[in-house]
A and B are shown apart, each in its own frame.
Chain A
Amino acid sequence: MTSPAGSTPQLSIGLSATPFAPLQRLEAWQQQLARQGLIAAAESLFIGRVRPVAGDGSTLAALELEHYPGMTEQQLQSLAADCAARHGVLAVLVQHRVGRLAPGEPIVLVAIAADRRGPAQRCGQELLEALKHDAPFWKREWRTDGGSTWLTGNTPR
């Protein structure tokens, strides 16, 4: 499937080194689309937060997210553009954290605006999987004893 004729999907991609409020970011994005006269009948939303438990079952003190500045932004842009074009959606919002995060803090926000629920949900799910595997982010779990471990993969869906 391709984009609706005559329209290029709007991509809003952001990285933040400090905490962000997903609902405020979402509202700002919705207002931006409204100002552009873009009315989407369907919107899907995913918010990912730091799990309070480390992979080994111990209490998590913090999660550190390292990335490859420059490549990360390019990859997010490219993955979002590909996914948007494939599903013919109207707009994509991705906000991703980097740096040190406390349990419960938002890591990622993905929102898709489309004309139908199917493309909105499918594009959101695909883009989330794509950025988990193909955007250069690395997670390190910090335990309460001061030790840490770099994760070598993603949690199951």
Chain B
Amino acid sequence: MTAPAPQLQLRLFASLREAAGWGERPWPLQPDDTPAQIWAALGLPAALGSVRVAINQRFAAADTPLHPGDELAFLPPISGG
């Protein structure tokens, strides 16, 4: 039996979710993948500089190393309160 391919859970919200047509899906994790590389692979119509990254529900830098099982989210500009 081979080990399952490493993957993470990818999440998008609000305008990004609608642009992509999905809000949550598993994503194969390549060695040395960073949020910035995954963002580029998604090909969404927004610059990385306009979104914020969260790993396991905490804000993180776009070059943070990722691990199998991580929950990676891309957050469009926040408007709370």
Kindly provide the distance from the CB of A66 to the nearest chain B CB, expressed in whole angstroms: 5
Pick the most buried of B54, B57, B75: most chain A CB atoms within 10 A of its CB.
Answer: B57
Whether a CB of chain B sits under 8 angstroms from the CB of A104 is no
Are A74 and B81 interface neighbours, CB within 8 A?
Answer: no
Whether a CB of chain B sits under 8 angstroms from the CB of A112 is no
Whether a CB of chain B sits under 8 angstroms from the CB of A48 is yes
Whether a CB of chain A sits under 8 angstroms from the CB of B73 is yes
B interface bracket (residues with beta carbon within 8 Å of A): 10 to 19
In the assembled complex, the Cα of A73 lies from the Cα of B51 at a distance in Å of 20
Kindly provide the distance from the CB of B46 to the nearest chain A CB, expressed in whole angstroms: 10
**Given the complex, which residues of A lie within 8 Å of B78, measured CB to CB?**
132-138
Contact with B along A107-143 (1 / 0, CB 8 A): 1100000000000000000001001111111111000
Number of A positions contacting B (CB below 8 A):
27
Nearest B residue to A76, CB-CB: B80
Kindly provide the distance from the CB of B52 to the nearest chain A CB, expressed in whole angstroms: 8
Contact with B along A60-78 (1 / 0, CB 8 A): 0000011110110010000
13 contacts between A and B (CB under 8 A): A68-B54, A96-B81, A128-B81, A131-B81, A134-B78, A135-B78, A136-B13, A137-B78, A137-B79, A138-B13, A139-B80, A150-B18, A153-B79
- The residues of A with any CB-CB pair to B shorter than 8 Å are 48, 65-68, 70-71, 74, 96, 107-108, 128, 131-140, 150-154
